[in-house]
Structure 1
C-alpha cells in the first residue's frame, strides 16, 4: 500500500499513481480493498449531501410552526429551486475529481454543506424575512445535490467495468437514502427542539465526513486527466449520452421529483392523512431498490432490466391515478411505493448501462489479440463514461424539476394531480419504446456472416 500511494509533484494528498482494476491480479491483491475503502467514505459524504439537499422538503410542511404562512405554489417553489440548483451544479461538480483529485474534491464538497445548514438556521430564526430570501436560502441546499455527480464519476474509476453495477448502485443508494433519513428523523427532532434543529443536526456529521475523507480516501492520478470541458461538450452530443440522459430523467428524475413532492401531494390529495408519518417511505423504498437494480443489471444486462422497469413504472403510475380518482388512501400509498421501488431499480440498471455502452462501442473493431489496443480502448471508454455519468446525472436531476412543475401545473389548473399522472404514464411508455429501439432491437452485424445482435447482446 505504501508503494501504491505517492504524492504527485507539486500537490498534497494521497495520490495513487498506478491503478488498473480491469487487471484481475491487481484487483484481487490490491484494488478491491482500496476501492471498498474509498466507496465507504464516498457513500458517507454523498449521503449527507442528499440529507442537506432535501432539508426544505420537510421544512415546508412545518413552516407554519415558526409563523411562516405560504401557499401550495410557494411551497412547491421552495422544494423545486433546490432541485434545479442541484441539477445545474452536477455539471461543474463532475469536473471536480478530475481537476482536484477525488479525495480532495470530496473534502471540498463536504465542507460546502455547512453553508446551506447555517443559512437554514438563520432563516428559521428570522421568520419575517421575505419570500425571495427564503428562495435564495433554499437554493443553497442544491450544493448537496451536486455531490452526486462528483461522487459517481470518481467511484467509476475505482472499479472494473464489468463489476460497476453493484458499487455504483450502493454509492448512489447511500446518497438516495439520505432523502428518507431526512424525512424520517426530522419530525421527532422538530417536536423536541423546534424546526431550527433541522439545520444544526447535520453540522457535526459533515465535520466527521470531511475528516474521514481526509484520512481514508485516495486520489487517482490517471483520473485527473480524464476529460476537458471541450471533451465533455463533445461527449454530451454523443447519441448514447442523449439517449441515456432521457432514460435517466425517467428513473432518477422520477425518484427525486417524487421525493421532493410526496409530502405536498399527500397533504393536498388526502388532507386527513398526516403526511410526515409517510413521506419518508417512498425515498427509503426507492433507495433500497437501487443496488438491487445494479445487481440485476450485472447479471441480466442493464438494458433488459431498464426496459421491464419502465413497463412496471408505467403500470404503477396508472395505479396511482386510479387511487386518486377513487380517493382511496391505502391504494394510493401502495401504488406510489411501487413506483418508488421501480425508480430505484431503474436508477441502478440505467447507471450500469452507461459504462457498458462506452466500453462496447470502444471495443468495437479493436483487435482482441492486441493487449495494448484493448487497454487503450478501455481507458478511453472509462474517461468517456465518467463524463457521461456527470452529464446524465445532471439532466436526470433536471427531470425531477420537470416532474415537480408537472404536478404544480396540474394542481393549479385542475386542483388534482390526475392530469400530471397521465402525462407521466405516457412518458414512461415512450422510455420503454426508446430502450427497446436503441438497445434491445436486434440489427445485422457489420461483419459478414454474423447473426443479428443488439447492444444488450454485447453486454449493455
Structure 2
C-alpha cells in the first residue's frame, strides 16, 4: 500500500490514537460497504482477529486448567470422583456467569481495552494456584481455585462480541469460527501439555503447567495492547445489551447453544475423569486421550462457520444435533459392552459434532438479526439504520448466548457426578444428553428452517436472509 493509500485508509477509518493505555479508537466503521472493506476494513479486522484469538486461546486454557489438575490429584489429595466433577462444575459455572459482565465491558471500555484487562486478570488464578496445589490443601480451596479459573471462561464472550463488530455479514461465520476455534484450541493444548508433564516429570509436578502459562498470559496481553483497536460505535453502545435481552431469539439461541458449546466445554472438563472413573484409566492413560476430543472440536469449529455461510446455519446445526444424539447412543452401547475403544470413538464424535455445531449456531445469531433488519427495510425503514441496529443487537447477543450456552457445561458435569454417584456409570447421563440433542434439532427445524430464504426489500429486489 502506498503512503497516499495508507493516509486515505487512516482518514476513512477515522483512527484516533489516544496512547498505549486508552488505545486506538476507530470512529467510522462500515464493514458492509464493499469499498471500505477492501480499502481499509479487511486489514484492520484481521489484525484485531489474530490478537483476539491469542488472548482467548490462553483464556480457555486457564478456564480448563483444573480439568487437567484433577488428573494429577491422586489418593493423597483425598478427593473422590464426585468431588473432582464438582471442581470442574464450579469452574464452568463461574466462567458462564462472568460472560455476561465481560460482554458488557466491551461496550463500556472498548474491545481492545477490555481484552488487555481480561488477559491480565488471568494472572490471578494461575499465580494463586501455584501456592495451593499440593496434598493436604483443604477441598474448599481447590473449589475456590477452580472458581477463579472462571476468569478465563469470560474471555470468550467479550472476544466474540468485539470481533463480531469488525466483520461484514458474509464473513462473520468464518471470522467468528476462527476466533472461537482458536480459543477452543486452548483446551486441547493445555491438556496436551499436561500429558507431556505427566509423561516426563510425573503426576507430582503439576506446577510445571503454570511455568508455561504465566509468561503466555503476559505476552498475549501485551500483544492485545499493541495490535488491537476500539470501535467507537461499539464502545458507546450501552443500550444494546438490554435490547438483546428482550429479543425472543436471544433466548432460543441460548437454549440451542447449550447443546453445542455447553457440550464441548462440559465434555472437555469431564472426559478424563470419565475415563478414569468408568474404565479405570491411570492419569497418564487418561491424559493421552483427553486432548484429542477438544483438539478435533476446535479445529472443526471454523468449518462449521464456513458450512453455515454456504448452506445456512440452521440446516447445519439441525444435522449436527442429530449426529450428536447418535454419538451419545454409541457411548451408551459402548458402556454396556465395556468397550473402551468404542466409547472413546463415541466421545470423540461428540467433540467433533459439537465443534461443527458451535460454528454453525454462532453464525445463526447475526444472520437472525440481519433478517429482522431486512424485514424492517421491506416495510419502509432506512436500510443503513436497520443494519446498524442489527449489528448492535447481535454483538450484545453473542455474549449473552455464550454465557447461557456455557451453563451447559455445568449441567454435563453435574449430570455425570449424579450418574456415577447413583449407578457407578455414565449411562443415565448419556441418555439425558441424547434426549436433549433431539429436542434441539426439533427446535431448530421448527423455528428457523420454516421461514423463506429471501426478504423483499424493493419492488424488484430481494435480499438473502437465510439463517
Q: TM-score, normalised by structure 1?
A: 0.93
Partner of 1:28: 38
Single out whichever of 380-389 and 233-242 deviates more from structure 2: 233-242
1:459 aligns with 2:443: no
Distance in 2 separating the partners of 1:25 and 1:445: 24
Partner of 1:347: 358
Partner of 1:382: 391
C-alpha deviations, 1:395-418, integer Å up to 9, x for none?
000111011111111111111111
Shift of 1:458: 3.0
Shift of 1:85: 0.3
Shift of 1:446: 11
The aligned runs of 1:210-249 (5 Å cut-off) are 210-228=221-239, 231-249=240-258
1:146 aligns with 2:157: no
Partner of 1:113: 122
1:394 aligns with 2:403: yes
**Contact 1:49-1:145 at 8 Å conserved across structures:** yes
Shift of 1:8: 6.3
Root-mean-square deviation (Å) = 2.3
Partner of 1:165: 173
**Contact 1:162-1:356 at 8 Å conserved across structures:** no
Partner of 2:72: 62
Q: TM-score, normalised by structure 2?
A: 0.91
**Contact 2:22-2:113 at 8 Å conserved across structures:** no
Shift of 1:7: 3.8
C-alpha deviations, 1:43-75, integer Å up to 9, x for none?
00000000111111011011228x412111111
Shift of 1:232: 2.3
Distance in 1 separating the partners of 2:369 and 2:380: 20
Distance in 1 separating the partners of 2:103 and 2:454: 35
1:325 aligns with 2:336: yes
SS at match of 1:366: helix
Distance in 1 separating the partners of 2:452 and 2:365: 20
Shift of 1:334: 1.1
Single out whichever of 376-385 and 217-226 deviates more from structure 2: 217-226
Partner of 2:260: 251
Single out whichever of 204-213 and 265-274 deviates more from structure 2: 265-274
SS at match of 1:278: helix
Kindly report structure 1 stretches of 4+ aligned residues shifted beyond 3 Å. 1-4, 367-370, 442-447
1:91 aligns with 2:134: no
Q: Which of 265, 278, 285 is residue 296 of structure 2 equivalent to?
A: 285
Gaps of 5+ in 2: 1-8
C-alpha deviations, 1:113-140, integer Å up to 9, x for none?
000000110111x532211122111110
Q: Which of 125, 128, 131 is residue 136 of structure 2 equivalent to?
A: 128
SS at match of 1:364: helix
Partner of 1:304: 315
Equivalenced residue count is 447
Residue 21 to residue 368, structure 1, CA distance change in 2 (3 Å): farther
1:42 aligns with 2:52: yes
Partner of 1:262: 271
SS at match of 2:117: helix
Distance in 1 separating the partners of 2:23 and 2:302: 31
Distance in 2 separating the partners of 1:211 and 1:109: 12
Distance in 2 separating the partners of 1:156 and 1:283: 23
